[in-house]
Chain A
Amino acid sequence: MYGLADCNNFFVSCERVFRPDLQGKPVIVLSNNDGCAVARSNEAKALGIKMGVPLFQVRDIVEKHGVTVFSSNYALYGDMSNRVQTTLRQMVPAVEVYSIDEAFLDLRGLEHTDLDALAKNISSVCKRNTGIPVSVGIAPTKTLAKIASKLCKQYPKLRGGCYMHRPQDIEKVLRKFPIEDVWGIGRRYSKRLKAYGVNTAWDFTQLEPRWIQQEMGVVGMNIWNELRGKPSIEFETHIQDKQQICVSRSFSKEIYDFEALAEQVSLFTSMACEKLRKQKSACHYVLVFLLTNRHKESAPQHMEGRTIAFPVGTDSTLEINESVLKALRAMYKQGYGYKKAGAILSGIIPKASVMPDMFDTVDRQKHDHLMSVVDTINAKNGHSGVYFASQSLEGIRMNRQHLSQRFTTEWDEVITVKCL
């Protein structure tokens, strides 16, 4: 069995942890430079505020209904995401971080436990420990688990956890589940499928495999199998996935030395950034993680990961690697033998849609030029011909009028408790 833990309206939920008074009230979070709404509370959705709508277009609704508006607080969201991921790792055998607010859970071997209770328990522990409401779906495949987690949002009665496994239940759900919402279908395929009379996930499972193979190839076949309960999308593989780029390796020998570890992780980061540039994208987050050899039970164990946020989407190895090394230094513990490490880029957007920023202190043109030179040299000389030594970049400032405090990452900005 597989699980999917999805944070509900994640950015809004992060803000609400420190503003409990906003529970049950309409809240939106804006993109970079306070451009458009990128997260909405259920109440804001009910007011008709659409995803991605520019703020000026909904100004009237915001004022009339007293919608609370926040600028993106990337430092806060990155930290809260780490907290949820850590909490998940404490509760299940393995976690695959899929995006800043979603993670797959590997529950193979737990088939004989009460998985419905587990799903509800994971949700309630996440909520209690971090304040973030999380929807946990558990099902025979990752694709079905995603669907199960969506049910939790529709039906509060499920108390945040849904275990969907009996064939008759799955059929009932799939018959009502729109094809365009199935993981991996996307807009392009859903249009074509609808023209072919496929409107629900169930319709899709009834198609001839040969037709799917022909029209959609392996991707389509995987979805077909997954919807029919046969796991076909592996756990923790590096599938060509627009939502994240991961480069990680197990080392042949444990690494104890920080410099050696930093060199490896820098290499992974630059490889990931290269992939990012190749697909002409930029990212908003990088997750760095390291772990010791868990098969060596006598040795001290340490596993940790940190997410760093970039307010302006970036594809610069210089900028990303600097943050990666900073996080690595903060996590690294002397005396531990590290067996595996890696970097995962997420929050991936097309490079062309990166919002330029008036107050941006990073010289992006210069970076772009340098990166294209680096990529050309690497293309000629094979992988990692060019290596990045430590670089320093200045901080980034931008237009964020509705920014909340960095409650969890700056001492001067933690919550104040009144003793009056």
Chain B
Amino acid sequence: MARIEIFKAEDRELFLPLAEGVKAGFPSPAEDIPHMSLDITSQIVKNPASTFYARVSGSSMIDDGIGDGDILVVDKSVTPYNGCIAICFVDGEFTLKHVEIHPDHIMLVPANKAFKPIKVTQDNEFIIWGVVRYVIKKV
């Protein structure tokens, strides 16, 4: 079938077909092994559909090595567990804390002595938005 190819002038590149069957030298023994380089995402993202990213502002979690500007890898599919580090939504704001689950209340505990824990009761507008799985930081 005849084909007309439309190129934008500035994108034009010239492709020369490889002369097949003409081989010089010893073929690479790795030729048949598919090349797959390591991908960092596969390590830190278990479930892409439920993974979100967030950026840290402030230093209340610095004792856990989480500092200003770091990127958080959050997996919403993870059920919050006692002591988990989670993005919480409290009274209109996103905040990062350790979540301590008590029978009648929840304590949001920072990792920096200069900050006080927050007690959350039924009176607060509160949700655990997502559990943090990894922290990406520039060193």
A416 vs B87: C-alpha distance when bound (angstroms): 10
Given A129-B47, A415-B94, is A21 in contact with B57 using a C-beta cutoff of 8 Å? no
Q: Does B89 contact A (CB under 8 A)?
A: yes
Determine the residue in chain B with the shortest Cβ distance to A125: B77
Contact A129–B36 (Cβ < 8 Å) = no
Q: Does A388 contact B (CB under 8 A)?
A: yes
A388 vs B8: C-alpha distance when bound (angstroms): 10
A392 vs B68: C-alpha distance when bound (angstroms): 38
Q: Does A384 contact B (CB under 8 A)?
A: yes
B interface secondary structure, majority: mixed
Query: Shortest Cβ distance from A75 into chain B, in angstroms?
Result: 14
A86 vs B47: C-alpha distance when bound (angstroms): 10
Q: Give the contacts of A286-308 with B (CB-CB under 8 A).
A: none
Q: Does A199 contact B (CB under 8 A)?
A: no
Contact A385–B2 (Cβ < 8 Å) = yes
Contact B95–A418 (Cβ < 8 Å) = yes
Which B residues touch A414, using CB under 8 A? 52-55, 71
Q: Does A417 contact B (CB under 8 A)?
A: yes
Contact B57–A416 (Cβ < 8 Å) = yes
Which B residues touch A333, using CB under 8 A? 36
A86 vs B49: C-alpha distance when bound (angstroms): 6
Query: Shortest Cβ distance from B21 into chain A, in angstroms?
Result: 18
Number of A-B contacts (CB under 8 A): 120
Q: Does A407 contact B (CB under 8 A)?
A: yes
Q: Does B93 contact A (CB under 8 A)?
A: yes
Contact B94–A387 (Cβ < 8 Å) = no
Given A128-B76, A418-B57, is A387 in contact with B5 using a C-beta cutoff of 8 Å? yes
A389 vs B66: C-alpha distance when bound (angstroms): 47
Contact B52–A407 (Cβ < 8 Å) = yes
Q: Does A230 contact B (CB under 8 A)?
A: no
Q: Does A419 contact B (CB under 8 A)?
A: yes
Query: Shortest Cβ distance from A11 into chain B, in angstroms?
Result: 18
Q: Does B16 contact A (CB under 8 A)?
A: no
Query: Shortest Cβ distance from A259 into chain B, in angstroms?
Result: 10
Query: Shortest Cβ distance from A343 into chain B, in angstroms?
Result: 19
A411 vs B71: C-alpha distance when bound (angstroms): 9
Contact B52–A21 (Cβ < 8 Å) = no
Report B's interface with A, CB cutoff 8 A: 1-8, 11, 34-36, 47-50, 52-62, 66, 68, 71-72, 76-77, 87, 89, 92-96, 110, 112, 115, 125, 127, 129
